[in-house]
């Protein structure tokens, strides 16, 4: 049953397309299309369209002094007088030393608050410190490594870790926190 309905729908679609094409063909203006002859004279329906005077191409133009041509002006050259501004005369004076610009003092970077929550040590003696930031981010690193792009781990002890802020030479000791 479903197959028959699809077949009827397809036939109906083809008939609608054929009927639309027949109506379109019937109402097409006669002589329009690619095979219609074109006439060299202008169409009467175009009103107010000026013809291009191609005879101007062979005519010689009058010489115009260099620099007086306005490329945005069409037609005869302008007769208006153009005054050109001359630069002001320069005074020969001793060079003035520029004022020293005070260098901006760098604003101190706030201290990164981290907690030392433990360490991991393997059989070879490699120690890894485990730190946690205020935002509950876990950071791990060995001595000499930089964590959080700001802290360099200097040494790892049993109950504390020494870190150095990269913006300064200040080394601070962070004690072990259980929580």
What pLDDT, in 10s, does the model give residues 24-64?
A: 888 887 655 555 555 555 555 566 677 777 777 777 776 66
Q: How far, in Å, CA of 116 to CA of 135, rounded?
A: 14
Residue 145 inside a domain? The answer is: yes
Q: How far, in Å, CA of 15 to CA of 27, rounded?
A: 19
Residue 163: count other Cβ atoms within 10 Å of its Cβ: 27
Residue 56 inside a domain? The answer is: no
Higher pLDDT, 50 or 139: 139
Q: Is it the case that residue 14 has pLDDT exceeding 70?
A: yes
Domain span at 123: 114-175
- What pLDDT is stored for residue 43 in this prediction? 54
Those residues whose C-beta lies under 8 Å from the C-beta of residue 21, and which sit 6 or more positions away, are none
- What pLDDT is stored for residue 122 in this prediction? 87
Instruction: Phi first, then psi: give them for residue 7, nearest 5 degrees.
Output: -65, -45
Closest CA to 138 of 109, 116, 158: 116
Helix (H, G, I), strand (E, B) or coil at 114: strand
- What pLDDT is stored for residue 53 in this prediction? 77
Q: Is it the case that residue 133 has pLDDT exceeding 70?
A: yes
How many domains would you assign to the chain?
A: 1
Residue 95 inside a domain? The answer is: no
């Amino acid at each position: 049953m479903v197959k028959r309905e699809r077949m009827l729908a397809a036939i109906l679609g083809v008939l609608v397309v054929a009927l639309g094409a027949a109506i379109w063909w019937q109402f097409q203006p006669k002589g329009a299309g690619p095979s219609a002859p074109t006439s060299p004279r202008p169409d009467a329906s175009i009103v107010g369209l000026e013809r291009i005077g191609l005879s101007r191409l062979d005519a010689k133009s009058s010489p115009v002094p260099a620099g007086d041509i306005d490329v945005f002006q069409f037609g005869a050259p302008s007769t208006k007088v153009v005054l050109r501004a001359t630069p002001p005369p320069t005074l020969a004076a001793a060079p003035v030393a520029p004022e020293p610009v005070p260098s901006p003092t760098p604003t101190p970077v706030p201290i990164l608050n981290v907690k030392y929550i433990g360490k991991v040590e393997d059989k070879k003696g490699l120690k890894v410190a485990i730190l946690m930031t205020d935002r509950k981010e876990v950071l791990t690193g060995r001595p000499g490594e930089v964590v959080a792009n700001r802290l360099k781990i200097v040494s790892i002890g049993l109950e504390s870790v020494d870190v150095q802020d990269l913006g300064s030479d200040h080394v601070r000791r962070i004690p072990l926190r259980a929580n």
